Structure 1
Amino acid sequence: MFSRKGKTPRRHPPKKPPNSQKDPVGVYCRVRPLGTENEECCIEVISSTTIQLHAPEGFKTNRNGEYKETQYSFKKVFGVSVSQTELFDFVAKPLVDDLISGKNGLLFTYGVTGSGKTFTMTGSPGQGGLLPRSLDMIFNSIGPYQAKRYVFKTDDKNGMEVQNDVDALLERQKRENNLPVPKTPSSRQKVDPEIADMVKQEEAYKADGVDEDSSYSVFVSYIEIYNNYIYDLLEETPDDAIKPKPPQSKILREDQNHNMYVAGCMEVEVKSAEEAFQVFWRGQKKRKVANTRLNRESSRSHSVFIIKLAQAPLDADGDNILQDKNQVTVSQLCLVDLAGSERTGRTGAEGNRIREAGNINQSLLTLRTCIEVLRENQMCGTNKMVPYRDSKVTHLFKNYFDGEGKVKMIVCVNPKADDYEETLLVMRFAEMTQEVEVARPMDRPICGFTPGRRHRNQERGDMPLVVDNLVYSLPPLPSCELTDPHDDITLPRLIEALQNRHRIRHFSPLFQELDSNLITRDNFIHEQNGKLFEKDKVIQNNKSEIERLEKKTRMQEHKIDILQKATKIYEDDKRSLQHELETRDQRLHREQSEKRRMEQRMQGVVSDTQLRWEKECERRVNAMQLEMQNKLWVKDEKLKQLKAIVTESKTPGRPEPPPRQTQPKRPSREEKRSAPAKRSASPSPVIQSNTSTPVRPLHRRSRSAGGEKWVDHKPTTNVDLGTVLQPVIPNAIQVSAPNEKALSKCDRYVLTHQEVASDGEIQTKLIKGEVIKTRGGGQAVQFTDIETLRQEITTVPSRKRRSSEGKPTNGDGSDGTWTDVETRCSVALEMRAGSNMGPGFEGHGITK
């Protein structure tokens, strides 16, 4: 294998031989008690390994409309009456034994929101969960064999190093004096009674496989996976009230053994179960929780508490730890509290809660997908890629499913009927998980030294020298050296000396006094022991009473904390509701004031419109009356003319010219203003010719010829008729399109409009109005009059024949001698243009 210049090829560690022995994933089920007795239950525990789901009333799944009942089997089913101790014995205790034996383990809780996962993992005062019980068992087992602090040191690459006692001492002094992060609580310090009550159990568990010739050290770390980001809950950030620094997310890396770990995660060395649980509780306060409709303190993230146990063998003498890094064995136990799957419709989530729920459901879906692919690969022999990298949860624990340790899962269910659909999905996932098999972890090799080194080293101490003062007070022994076998002096002398020493020892007053003192002392000690025994009984009774009162006090404090949290939540809800109520009140006040203003405005508009329509109706009635009067007058005049013509045609001789027609009475200015709209409905003023004697009407000027200023609106499309009868408006502004500037300078407005009449001729309409100012500062035009100009061709009857007398006659039989050219030219045409012909009009006869 070739590498680039300047870079060394990456060396992969040798692969471990595959283990043919496999164990299925251990899946356990725990049923939570109902909140109230009146709630409908959908789960029934049939046996110690089987439960049955009953569809609630109204939830029918069969085609026949019957309720469906389904049974699910587990490795062990824990009912509502099962204690935390029994749950620990079956599930977590074997994993702790494997941890001390150098094997890894993974235990996670799974279920819907509010099913009791956090209680199962953490517990409550007096009812410790799996986590504190596991810590208590670990330290009960390795307590006498723990190494000094900082002898084991992490290398930030998921490995361990071993330091000698001198380096450990320097490291300890350095951290105690100059370490910027706060010191971890020591086991000698006073521990919170609530924490001690949760950790200390009624029965002290110990593991069987503890190696007495090894030294141990425990490291803990606590992380959470929130919105698919990893955060260290034990990381200390500087407090800044002005600009707080948000926590930094961590990344996953792979060590040299292809095991996944969180880079940069803080690992705290602990020396007691109380200290470890206190570190856990410090991180638990930073965990993301929120109030939802289903749970007051719903976990919004997946929490992972990692217990890492480092162990190294002692040397051949059993005095010190081996400094060989390769001899260090590191095993870890991961306790995972998964966030509950939930439906946003039931929880009432909004905003960030919706995003959190979506990420939680997505990570759980990825876990389900990985389990499905593993199951399919094992059962069908396929080799599909497991999508571990799609989620941080599955990516972190991929080594466990690949055979790096045992995997166990506790399915927590809530038997209430409202969670039936979610519980059904959880059961299906658990049933599928049981079919996945994980390779059994290999046993770690045992060091080749002779066992029992530590025990022999403890017995090998310097025994105390007992000096018998009485030996020095006895007479000295004579010389015992025998040089001659026939010596009869030395041995008798030695015998005599020994007898004297024996006599002195037994009959000396010193020895007698000593014996009496010893007897007196023994009697005194016996009496004191009896008194101490009685005192011990009293002390034990007092201790038990104190423990009972402390436990009761802790329970009350726990209840007070819960009530304070609930009170705080209720106060927050109350403040938010009050704020929302105030906002809605302000909005309602604004809407009411706007409604009142709108009502006043509409009342003004209605009153103005009513007044205007009353005036308009009155004006139209007046105009109609005037129009009918004009029609009657015209008919009367025509009848008079006809009567005169008939009368004149009966008299002999040349007929007299017809009498001059009198001009009809012109309406007053008020009448013309009151009836502008009806004028368009009346017969349009036309230019007519009369067969009678023409009468030239008097010259009449329009009322607009006064001091009023007009806007003369003439579109560019008008046709110039070239006739004499043209509207002339002096002192007017001519525009092709009206504008605000022109309207602001004038008082009146006239629009010239042309259209084709029914006879094919072009007629011109003059639409007049008054310019009024509006309240907004603009101008508006109110139309008041319409005048129509229509051109008609009058036909002069030709002389068809002469009478027998030779006089010309008209077509109607009358005498036509006066209809010659001169007479015809002098005939004026009568123009009836209504009440007003417009500004500047002059009526002239038009001949063609």
Structure 2
Amino acid sequence: MDKDMLKEKRSFLMPRDPSVDRRFRPRPNKKQRLFDEVIPEFSDSSTDCSDTESEYATTNGDDDAYMTDSSEVETGPQVFLRMRPVESPSKLYCISDAGNTLITCAATNENNSNNSNRMEKHFSFSTILDSSVGQRDVYDICVGPRIVDEECVTIMAYGTSGSGKTYTLLGDNARAGVLPRALENIFTMYHKQIYSTPKLKLINARMLILEDEKAIKELQIRKELLALCPDISAQYHRLHHAIKGDHNFVEMEETDVSVMIWVSFVEIYNELVYDLLTMPPKQATMAEPRRKTLKIVCNKGQVFIKGLTSVFVKSGEDAIKLLRLGQQRISYAATSVNANSSRSHCVFTVDVLKYHRTGMTTHSSYKFCDLAGSERVDKTGTVGSRLREAQSINTSLMVLGRCMDAASSSKKRNNTDVIPYRDSKLTLLLQAALLGKERLAMIVTVTPLDKFYEENLNVLSFASIAKNIIFKQPLVKQHNTRYSAFAQIDQNSTNRSQDYVDELERQIISLRAENEQLKLNHVHQMQLQEEKLRRELTDGFGSSIDLIKKQAELRNENLLLIQRREFEAKIESLKRQYDEQIEDLQDEIEELKSANSDIEVIDDD
């Protein structure tokens, strides 16, 4: 009777209890794991690159562990939308009352065969920045908190061609973008801790201690590259004062930390990687030198560009100069949409290496990625080489979208979704952010005009995919390594002896005092040597002057003697000439006298 009653009650509106099977028998309350004996293997940072995908799939596929472990916090990228200011914004775009959702709908008279584009669509973002939001607020909202928290972060600017990506990232001469502001923030934070020499460097994704010769070589490379940079002193000072007026950056008060900052600049053009801070060839030719392509290497779970130039910088001005130098080498071209369109993806990386007195080294990485604009060939009018560039750009952006889609679908706990980051050089370089190991912040820019509606829909769809990503891996705030540069410290010991620390401090004080004494002795010796050289130079100049004076006097005496002899010879010649004239005149006088006497005699007769 009970079974008949249950059968009568069973319907679509009143289904059976899941604890009772279809024959109305109670199910056994027993759970058994089929793979209890299998020990999951979790790879650390020393695993090979080929294990990265399997690690990601294993972590996402373990549903029970994920549901039961409350310590894992789901995080995802922050996606910000920025609307470019235009004279007459389109009515197809409107912001919801909540302020974080963009509502789009196509015009009714639009000739478009795709009816899906006519539908009203809602795109949610972390924050929507309308045309009234300036560069200062963009930095404070999107980038500033990540810099203050010292998190490894990738800042990615994405949008259609000419929508203001480069302006948001770099700014112009009057209004600085998020990258110059981030540099000023970093150098202000570590102003008191910046080390004067490059003792630590990130080589092949590993922090290594540089010997004195290598450190001197790095300083020489820095000097040569800065000599190639354009002179932007006046421009930088104006920019510096403008940023200081917009923000109140706070200095860190740590005294037992030495900070070394390195920058690098890379370009991905037609799926080829180029170094934008490489030294030019020494032998300059009339033709432009062929650029050398670099290779992205994935070794033991770490990704790096082999042979990439990383430059040690001491101030924000040095970093801005190198940024301007790299900008001069970026591939630009004019299209129908943008007169100065970037034809490549550019990644400017700032690596902050910190050495603590305890022997711990930490690494914070900030990547600023300026993606080339997604574009439609029929509107940009690209042909020839510009067309090949556009195809490479769109292909890499499509792979980036596939990676975002795979990462967002992984939240459904589906092991079949593997992130295809190896399909493009861009995604291969940014795989740490795509796998959730580092923070990812996207600034999506659109131009709210009717003619860009379809392009904007593609960009907004891409952004919505990124907004739905949820990473379950713990984010890496800083890459830590225990490595002592000045003393041999036992890494296996957990409790450090205070006596040993005191002894090291006394040795440091003694070495500093000895160093100061050596400096004073060196300065004193240099002063004595300078005085000795001055005396030798003075004596040498004095003897030279006396010798020259004697030679001049002897030369003058010889000249005077020669002149005197010449004068006497001339006098004698003139004297003989005048004596002959006198004799002739006397003879004439005698003749005249004799003639007069003859005349008188004749007269007398």
Q: Give the TM-score of the pair, scaled to structure 1.
A: 0.46
Paired residue for 2:208, among 133, 156, 161? Answer: 161
Paired residue for 2:363, among 330, 334, 353? Answer: 330
Aligned: 1:74 with 2:125: yes
- Partner Cα separation in structure 2 for residue 176 and residue 72 of structure 1: 49
> 1:339 aligns to what SS in structure 2?
coil
- Partner Cα separation in structure 1 for residue 116 and residue 135 of structure 2: 40
Paired residue for 1:90, among 127, 141, 155? Answer: 141
Report the alpha carbon displacement of residue 240 of structure 1 after superposing the two structures with TM. Answer: 3.2
Report the alpha carbon displacement of residue 125 of structure 1 after superposing the two structures with TM. Answer: 1.9
Q: Name the aligned partner's letter for residue 92 of structure 2.
A: C
- Partner Cα separation in structure 1 for residue 95 and residue 273 of structure 2: 38
Report the alpha carbon displacement of residue 196 of structure 1 after superposing the two structures with TM. Answer: 3.4
Contact 2:268 2:345 in 1 (8 A): yes
Deviations 1:704-729 (A, max 9, x none): xxxxxxxxxxxxxxxxxxxxxxxxxx
Aligned: 1:227 with 2:293: no
- Partner Cα separation in structure 1 for residue 231 and residue 337 of structure 2: 38
Aligned: 1:440 with 2:474: yes
- Partner Cα separation in structure 2 for residue 381 and residue 208 of structure 1: 45
Report the alpha carbon displacement of residue 198 of structure 1 after superposing the two structures with TM. Answer: 3.3
- Partner Cα separation in structure 2 for residue 407 and residue 105 of structure 1: 6
- Partner Cα separation in structure 1 for residue 446 and residue 100 of structure 2: 15
Deviations 1:313-344 (A, max 9, x none): 025xxxxxx4xxxx322221111010111111
- Partner Cα separation in structure 2 for residue 113 and residue 396 of structure 1: 22
- Partner Cα separation in structure 1 for residue 125 and residue 118 of structure 2: 23
Residues 121 and 227 from structure 1, CA distance in 2 versus in 1: closer, same or farther, beyond 3 angstroms? same
Contact 1:135 1:199 in 2 (8 A): no
- Partner Cα separation in structure 2 for residue 173 and residue 402 of structure 1: 37
Residues 12 and 434 from structure 1, CA distance in 2 versus in 1: closer, same or farther, beyond 3 angstroms? closer
Contact 1:139 1:273 in 2 (8 A): yes
- Partner Cα separation in structure 1 for residue 424 and residue 341 of structure 2: 21
Residue 253 of structure 1 aligns with which residue? 297
Paired residue for 2:85, among 25, 33, 36? Answer: 33
Paired residue for 1:359, among 384, 392, 400? Answer: 392
- Partner Cα separation in structure 1 for residue 117 and residue 406 of structure 2: 34
Unmatched 5+ stretches in structure 2: 1-45, 60-70, 483-494, 514-605
Contact 2:405 2:465 in 1 (8 A): yes
Residues 176 and 133 from structure 1, CA distance in 2 versus in 1: closer, same or farther, beyond 3 angstroms? closer
Q: Name the aligned partner's letter for residue 184 of structure 1.
A: L
- Partner Cα separation in structure 2 for residue 358 and residue 186 of structure 1: 33
Residue 195 of structure 1 aligns with which residue? 236
- Partner Cα separation in structure 2 for residue 76 and residue 296 of structure 1: 30
> 1:335 aligns to what SS in structure 2?
strand
Residues 20 and 151 from structure 1, CA distance in 2 versus in 1: closer, same or farther, beyond 3 angstroms? same
Contact 1:253 1:263 in 2 (8 A): yes
Residues 355 and 145 from structure 1, CA distance in 2 versus in 1: closer, same or farther, beyond 3 angstroms? same
- Partner Cα separation in structure 2 for residue 313 and residue 186 of structure 1: 34
Residues 283 and 348 from structure 1, CA distance in 2 versus in 1: closer, same or farther, beyond 3 angstroms? same
Deviations 1:475-502 (A, max 9, x none): xxxxxxxxxxxxxxxxxxxxxxxxxxxx
Q: Name the aligned partner's letter for residue 342 of structure 1.
A: E
- Partner Cα separation in structure 1 for residue 292 and residue 115 of structure 2: 56
CA RMSD in angstroms comes to 3.6
The structure that has the greater radius of gyration is 1
Contact 1:293 1:348 in 2 (8 A): yes
Paired residue for 1:21, among 65, 73, 79? Answer: 73
Aligned: 1:44 with 2:94: yes
- Partner Cα separation in structure 1 for residue 279 and residue 370 of structure 2: 22
Contact 1:159 1:330 in 2 (8 A): no
Residues 215 and 204 from structure 1, CA distance in 2 versus in 1: closer, same or farther, beyond 3 angstroms? farther
Kindly report which structure 2 residues correspond to 1:4-15, keeping only aligned pairs within 5 A, or say none: 12=47
Contact 1:128 1:199 in 2 (8 A): no
Unmatched 5+ stretches in structure 1: 1-10, 316-321, 463-848
Q: Name the aligned partner's letter for residue 376 of structure 2.
A: R
Residue 804 of structure 1 aligns with which residue? none
> 1:184 aligns to what SS in structure 2?
helix
Deviations 1:232-272 (A, max 9, x none): 1111222633343210111111244x121111000001111
Q: Name the aligned partner's letter for residue 452 of structure 2.
A: D
Residues 114 and 24 from structure 1, CA distance in 2 versus in 1: closer, same or farther, beyond 3 angstroms? same
Report the alpha carbon displacement of residue 301 of structure 1 after superposing the two structures with TM. Answer: 0.4
- Partner Cα separation in structure 1 for residue 153 and residue 194 of structure 2: 21
Residues 221 and 31 from structure 1, CA distance in 2 versus in 1: closer, same or farther, beyond 3 angstroms? same
Residues 442 and 224 from structure 1, CA distance in 2 versus in 1: closer, same or farther, beyond 3 angstroms? closer
- Partner Cα separation in structure 2 for residue 332 and residue 426 of structure 1: 27
- Partner Cα separation in structure 1 for residue 190 and residue 101 of structure 2: 37
- Partner Cα separation in structure 2 for residue 71 and residue 175 of structure 1: 52
- Partner Cα separation in structure 1 for residue 250 and residue 427 of structure 2: 30
> 2:338 aligns to what SS in structure 1?
coil
> 1:182 aligns to what SS in structure 2?
helix
> 1:328 aligns to what SS in structure 2?
strand
- Partner Cα separation in structure 2 for residue 115 and residue 171 of structure 1: 44
Paired residue for 1:401, among 417, 434, 444? Answer: 434
> 1:355 aligns to what SS in structure 2?
helix
Paired residue for 1:295, among 331, 338, 354? Answer: 338
Q: Give the TM-score of the pair, scaled to structure 2.
A: 0.64
Residue 255 of structure 2 aligns with which residue? 212
Residue 575 of structure 2 aligns with which residue? none
Residue 55 of structure 1 aligns with which residue? 106
Residues 60 and 440 from structure 1, CA distance in 2 versus in 1: closer, same or farther, beyond 3 angstroms? farther
Aligned: 1:373 with 2:406: yes
Deviations 1:149-193 (A, max 9, x none): 222234x31222235xxx54x55655667x698243699x98522
Contact 1:97 1:208 in 2 (8 A): no
Aligned: 1:417 with 2:450: yes
Report the alpha carbon displacement of residue 431 of structure 1 after superposing the two structures with TM. Answer: 1.1
Contact 1:128 1:198 in 2 (8 A): yes
Residues 259 and 354 from structure 1, CA distance in 2 versus in 1: closer, same or farther, beyond 3 angstroms? same
Q: Name the aligned partner's letter for residue 25 of structure 1.
A: P
Contact 1:27 1:75 in 2 (8 A): yes
Residues 65 and 389 from structure 1, CA distance in 2 versus in 1: closer, same or farther, beyond 3 angstroms? closer
Q: Name the aligned partner's letter for residue 301 of structure 1.
A: S
Q: Name the aligned partner's letter for residue 161 of structure 1.
A: L
Paired residue for 1:121, among 147, 169, 187? Answer: 169
> 1:55 aligns to what SS in structure 2?
coil
Contact 2:155 2:369 in 1 (8 A): yes
Aligned: 1:112 with 2:160: yes
Q: How many residues align?
A: 425
Residues 366 and 176 from structure 1, CA distance in 2 versus in 1: closer, same or farther, beyond 3 angstroms? closer
- Partner Cα separation in structure 2 for residue 230 and residue 390 of structure 1: 14
> 2:329 aligns to what SS in structure 1?
coil
Kindly report which structure 2 residues correspond to 1:271-286, keeping only aligned pairs within 5 A, or say none: 271-286=314-329
User: What percentage of aligned pairs have identical amino acids?
Assistant: 26
- Partner Cα separation in structure 1 for residue 142 and residue 402 of structure 2: 25
Residues 96 and 63 from structure 1, CA distance in 2 versus in 1: closer, same or farther, beyond 3 angstroms? closer
Residues 27 and 198 from structure 1, CA distance in 2 versus in 1: closer, same or farther, beyond 3 angstroms? same
Residues 419 and 215 from structure 1, CA distance in 2 versus in 1: closer, same or farther, beyond 3 angstroms? same
Report the alpha carbon displacement of residue 350 of structure 1 after superposing the two structures with TM. Answer: 1.1
Contact 2:76 2:436 in 1 (8 A): no
- Partner Cα separation in structure 1 for residue 231 and residue 342 of structure 2: 30
Report the alpha carbon displacement of residue 405 of structure 1 after superposing the two structures with TM. Answer: 1.0
